[in-house]
Chain A
Amino acid sequence: MVGGSVVEAALTILLDGLQFSSYLFIVSAGLTIIFGVMKILNVAHGSFYAWGAYTAAFFIGKFSDMGLPDAMGFLIIIAAAIIVGVILGFIIEQGILKYMYHRDEVLIVLATFGLFLVLEDIILIAFGTDPYFAYQPMALLDAVEMGGIVRDVYGLTLIGVAALVAVGCWWLLNKTKWGTLLKAVIFDREVGIAMGINVPLVYTLTFIGGAILGGLGGAYIAPTISVAPGLGTEVIVLSFAVVVVGGMGSIAGAAIGSLIIGILRAIAVHELPQVELFVVFAVMAVVLVFRPEGLFAPAKPRKI
């Protein structure tokens, strides 16, 4: 049954890759929307992810201890993402970033790095350093056999959630009045203002929306991992790699970037574990060198 095991291995890699791509996409979609609209490369996005994961894990555990049904976990995940996104997004945008829009892009990156450090420690203070395990939603859904391999159903639903996010973003941008306004602001801020769009409000809502996606990525992945310090540190550089590869500010780019990086990493994990991290950042570096605007963003002329 050599042939069978090859197929099984390939299927495993494919599904692992898709799952990994899915969570990368959810997080990166938030990052890229914020960049596209506000031209902010938000390092603190890693913290939204970590906060989402911690908040979800904490309450899933609490509710389970209280004897509430495990199915509540899914509600908690969504609620955690929204609460984290709205609260942190609002405070950060209104409290800090609002005052920086006229400043240098690089300086704003630095400010979000400062925020990242602050938020990382508030997590430790709020949740402590011991890891959280919120396996209940995953246990609830059980496992399924497909093509000779056994997979957690929960992990597979992650792919569905990512697809929903992708379709949702597409629908919002292309089929709603809001999307038209947003695209005007993305195209040119001044044009947006001239059209009478309330740009500050668009910024606030965009930032909150992006933050919710960051939180959702963390909240949804929480049941599958041990939620421990340092979560945000890893995910933020991975998301950077995704948006750089796909093209910063593009949702489609984030999707394709996630797929490339997710599947490459899955192949590496199974076939050549030594290059697991290397391959992600090597792809990022190569894309930056040969196509700095990303693979799927239209190439723009360089300043000089």
Chain B
Amino acid sequence: MFNDKTAKFILLAGLVLCIGGAFAPNWIVNQFMFGFARALAILGLMVLWRTGLVSFGHAFYFGLGAYAVAILDIELGVTDVFLRLLAGAVVAGTAGFLVGFIMRNYRDIFFAMLNTAISMVLFGIVVKTESLGSTDGFAISMSTILGFAPESKYPLFVIITLIGLTSALLVNFYLKTTVGKLTTAIRDNEIRVEYLGFSVAHAIHLKYTISTILAGGAGALMAMSLGQVDPESMINWTVSGELVFVTILSGPGNVIAPFIGSLVFEVLRTYAFELAPQAWQLIMGATFLTIIFFVPGGIWSLLEKLGGKKNAK
């Protein structure tokens, strides 16, 4: 599991980040926290994207993860970071597994749309339900770590980094297994995959469930990082669109890509927001179009080219 270049790089990067984070200023730590929390969801969407599936509704699982944390906090006073994360991933993953029985028969825009519909059902419920916080959402109390309450953001940052690292390693392994390799093959010819003896529906169901667990975990981590949840920034279809945007921005080439892509997205957002608050979406949309037209492999393919040139020299 650790004996390839990607895995080694992930371990090294994790070490550097965890040490570096202790000395970094708060705002940098924050950017990494948000970036890596979102990256978890992107990692899952990447698994789907490799098979040609785009979900315009993964905010459903992102939101479930985030709201699981909020409701556990309010109803039961659960503040432990690991319990919260587990709750988010389990709730979203269970929902994803169940929805997966239907979703595995859908492709293309029907897949995208059914996901949208399901996420908007949740959005519709949350927005109109007082006990779920309605449009205002909830504030979430500070997370504790195995009983102790940290004084800075650093411990949470380390945990998010470690969770991200572990997930990346697991997905990296998954992508090298037989079922994980069934990506382009499914996109190219489902009939052949069936005749070879593998159920395309089962393969897609697994990919879908993986993506929902990761999206739920991402939602939980995001809720903890932000200290609040609300439907507009956690469940609405524009959030799903944002997740898809970062997925395409990152590129499907490698499990490290979602982390880099998410960080770029965070930085882009912070600066664009400061420089031109009314043109933030414009910048995002234009970037998106540029990527679709000229850089189909996303940021990762650019990095690969850079690396390739260096090696050639």
Contacts and interface: CB of A to CB of B under 8 A. Distances in A.
B118 A273 contact: no
Contact of B286 (A118, A129, A277, A280): A118
Given A41-B109, A116-B285, A285 B124 contact: no
Interface in A74-115: 96, 99, 104-107, 109-111, 113-115
A107 B292 CA distance: 8
B128 A274 contact: yes
B191 interface: yes
Overall SS of chain B's interface: helix
Given A276-B124, A285-B114, A117 B109 contact: no
B289 interface: yes
Contacts, number: 131
B288 interface: yes
Nearest to A117: B285
Contacts of B190: 303-304
Interface string A250-280: 0000000000000000000000011111111
B105 A237 contact: no
A277 to B, nearest CB: 3
A280 B236 CA distance: 14
Q: How large is the interface on B (under 10, 10 to 19, 20 to 34, 35 or more residues)?
A: 35 or more
Given A111-B292, A115-B289, A275-B124, A281 B117 contact: yes
A43 B238 CA distance: 11
A288 B117 contact: yes
A105 B286 contact: no
Contacts of A284: 113, 117, 120
Contacts of A276: 124, 128
Contact of A277 (B54, B118, B123): B123
A129 B278 contact: yes
A239 to B, nearest CB: 12
B62 interface: no
Contacts of A279: 124
B61 to A, nearest CB: 15
Given A110-B244, A113-B244, A237 B120 contact: yes
A82 to B, nearest CB: 25
Contacts of B292: 107, 110-111, 114
B161 interface: no
A107 B108 CA distance: 10
Quick one: which of B241, B285, B292 has the most chain A CB within 10 A?
B285
B116 A111 contact: no
Quick one: which of B52, B56, B120, B191 has the most chain A CB within 10 A?
B120
A303 B54 CA distance: 18
Interface stretch (A10-18, A120-128, A135-143, A166-174): A120-128
Interface of A: 41, 43, 96, 99, 104-107, 109-111, 113-122, 124-125, 129, 233, 237, 240-241, 244, 273-282, 284-285, 288-289, 292, 302-304
26 contacts: A106-B109, A107-B292, A109-B112, A110-B244, A111-B289, A113-B245, A114-B288, A116-B285, A118-B286, A120-B281, A121-B279, A274-B129, A277-B124, A277-B128, A278-B124, A278-B128, A281-B121, A281-B123, A284-B117, A284-B120, A285-B114, A288-B113, A289-B102, A289-B114, A292-B114, A304-B190
Interface of B: 52, 54, 56, 102, 105-110, 112-114, 116-118, 120-121, 123-125, 127-129, 190-191, 194, 200, 236-238, 241, 244-245, 248, 278-282, 284-286, 288-289, 292-293
